[in-house]
Amino acid sequence: MATTQVPGNGKQSGTTPPPSAQREQLASHDPATGEVVGTVPVMTADDVDAAVARARTAAATWSAMSYGEREAELARFRAGLAEACDDLAEVIARENGKPRVDAMTEVYMALSHLSHAARRAEKALKSHRVSPGLLANYRATISYHPLGVVGVIGPWNYPIFTPMGSIAYALAAGNTVVFKPSELTPLTGVKIAEIAARTLSIPDVFQVVTGAGATGAALARAAVDKIAFTGSAGTGKKVMQAAAERLTPVLMELGGKDPMIVTDDADVDKAAEAAVFGALTNSGQACISVERVYVHEAVYDRFVAKVVDEVRAVKVGGDDGNIGAMTSPAQVDIVRDHLTDAVARGAKVLAGGPDAISGNFIQPTVLVDVTADMKVMKDETFGPVIPIVKVASTEDAVRAANETTFGLGSSVFAGKKAKDIADRIRAGMTAVNSVMAFSAITSLPFGGVGESGFGRIHGDEGIREFTRTKATAEESFALPVNLLSFKLPKGTYERIRGLIKQLYGDGAVARAQDFLRRVF
């Protein structure tokens, strides 16, 4: 495939400014072959500020549109992306290293979120009245308003699906977006921006700024109204520090160390198949991939045997491969380090292992006899690795699953008690008798706790995340006594005192509260 030189064209909305002779270029590589797929300009802090200023201008028109008008605009954007799905899948597969079928699935999932957010925004952001309590002469209303300009910083593992989880919801809520893609997958970001520029009637509603970490840092410092960051916890902390300079609010979608629990009454074959897919899809480079498996001793042997069987059938690389190349040598080094550490501390390799790494390709690895102190059980591995632990009870499994600083996704394979167990896992999301399904259900909120971050994308919560909530108290009729005044009648102290006793003291409290609740 020919390499792509991204053309600069400052006049066209959504694309990068013209690369000057001095402008540094960034190359995107195919991790399977090392070939250069294309180059993009490295954008400076001035470029980022200029993009944000253009986005600010665009926001005035975009935010003033009706929901119906924005939905129609986003439908054209969606259709443009859909028409270009082959090109998108090609560029994603080449930059990221994943099989083309996975890239196409990712495009589908991104479009499903764009579609959902656009259709759902009006309902999710509908103003609504709430009880005014004792201020019965007031109309109390909650309404939601666009923030303005949202900066989105995305990772390389799902170059369209992951950022679209923020982009779609921010746009649908009436904001404009400046997107900084990972330096490993910039061409995907540029392609999305080109399509936005072609399909949206207002220039600069969606722009991309390309470059490495410094460009992301410039966006975090820029005059945006929110930063939606997806990436590692380490970089997330830097982004928060930079955003703190302007008190810019941040949404943090960070890493995970997702546990899977398999109980003694689980469908073992189904659980094993899910563990293999959940841990290996995208070569394990998914924030919600299965990273730790806790299996009840009663079904442990059967589960392990089935997992090893399934793993042996997984094909790595090639056109018909189930998983492709790891996206970067740096990520290969992390996985090698985790595997080497595990083996040195006594883990047993049942498939793959540290010696089964060749260039950017890692053979799926199954580890048993792993312990909580190993890196592979503590830190995010982000590779095709399945560490399995035998546990004596469901209690032990839940305890071990929660012994982590992360809390993104999780999964439970069990009989009748599955949902109860799921509720006890400290994580943003749990799939019950399944893996990862929550990320594909557009109306479910997505996000983590602890070192997995905070804030939510997807669903109604994801739309509201990109708004400011406004509380309005509107007097609907005047009372003879105005309590919000210094001109209080004599005896007000006693009356308020009486009210306190009646409402919140002992005795007639329950009756008084019931009465007030019924009235208001």
Chain residues in the site for ligand NDP (CB under 6 A)? 153-157, 162, 180, 182-184, 212-213, 216-217, 220, 230-232, 235, 238-239, 253-256, 287, 380, 382, 408, 448, 453
Least distance between ligand NDP and beta carbon 18 (Å): 21
Do 39 and 3 meet the contact criterion of CB atoms below 8 Å apart?
Answer: yes
The identity of residue 297, as a single letter, is E
Q: How far is the CB of 218 from ligand NDP (least distance, A)?
A: 8
Residue with tokens 């960051």: 229
In the bound complex, what is the minimum distance in angstroms from residue 154's beta carbon to ligand NDP?
A: 6
217 vs 274 by CB, closer to ligand NDP: 217
Residue in 287, 291, 380, 465 annotated catalytic: 287
Rounded-to-integer distance, Cα 447 and Cα 427, Å: 9
In the complex with ligand NDP, the residue whose CB is nearer, 349 or 449, is 449
All residues at 6 or more sequence positions from 40 whose CB lies less than 8 Å from its CB, including other chains: 6, 16, 25, 26, 28, 186, 187, 190, 210, 211
H/E segment holding residue 474:
strand 467-475
User: Which of 333, 342, 352, 53 lies closest to 207, judged by CA?
Assistant: 53
Smallest distance, Å, CB 181 to ligand NDP? 6
- Cβ proximity of 390 and 416 under 8 Å: no
Which of 272, 408 has the CB closer to ligand NDP? 408
Residue 264 C-beta: closest distance to ligand NDP, Å: 31
Q: Coil, helix or strand for 262? A: strand
Interatomic CA distance for residues 513 and 499, integer angstroms: 11
Q: Which is nearer to ligand NDP, 28 or 175 (CB)?
A: 28
Nearer to ligand NDP, 80 or 213 (CB): 213
- Of 187 and 299, nearer to ligand NDP (C-beta) is 187
Pick between residue 322 and residue 381 the one whose CB is nearest to ligand NDP: 381
Query: Are 289 and 410 a contacting pair, CB within 8 Å?
Result: no
Beta bridge partners of 40: 26
| Side chain identity at residue 518, one-letter code | R
CB 245 → ligand NDP: shortest distance, Å? 12
CA distance 487 to 270: 72
The 3-state secondary structure of 295-318 reads EEHHHHHHHHHHHHHHHHCCCECC
- Contact between 390 and 295 under an 8 Å Cβ cutoff? The reply is yes
Nearer to ligand NDP (CB atom), residue 182 or residue 199: 182
Three-state DSSP class for 351? strand
111/220 with CB nearer ligand NDP: 220
Q: Measured between alpha carbons, how far is 94 from 148 in angstroms, rounded to an integer?
A: 34
> C-beta of 287: minimal distance to ligand NDP in Å?
3
Q: Which residue is nearest to ligand NDP (CB)?
A: 216
Is 395 one of the catalytic residues? no
Amino acid sitting at position 8:
G
Residue 385 burial (10 A CB sphere; 0-12, 13-18, 19+): buried
Least Å distance, CB 306 to ligand NDP, is 27
Identify any residues that bridge with 293 across adjacent strands, giving them in sequence order.
260, 388
Residue 409 makes CB contacts below 8 A (sequence gap 6+) with 256, 258, 287, 288, 427, 428, 429, 430, 431, 436, 438, 439, 448
Nearest alpha carbon to residue 64 among 193, 224, 152, 175: 175
- Identify whether the C-beta of residue 53 lies closer than 8 Å to the C-beta of residue 10: no
Q: For this structure, is 85 an active site residue?
A: no
Please state the closest distance from residue 415 (CB atom) to ligand NDP, in A. Answer: 30
Kindly tell me which of 211 and 354 has the beta carbon lying closer to ligand NDP.
Answer: 211
Please name the residues in contact with 365: beta carbons below 8 A apart, sequence gap of 6 or more: 339, 349, 351, 352, 353, 356, 383, 384, 385, 386
Smallest distance, Å, CB 448 to ligand NDP? 6
Catalytic hit among 95, 253, 291, 465: 253
Residue 170 DSSP label: H
Q: Which residues are catalytic?
A: 253, 287
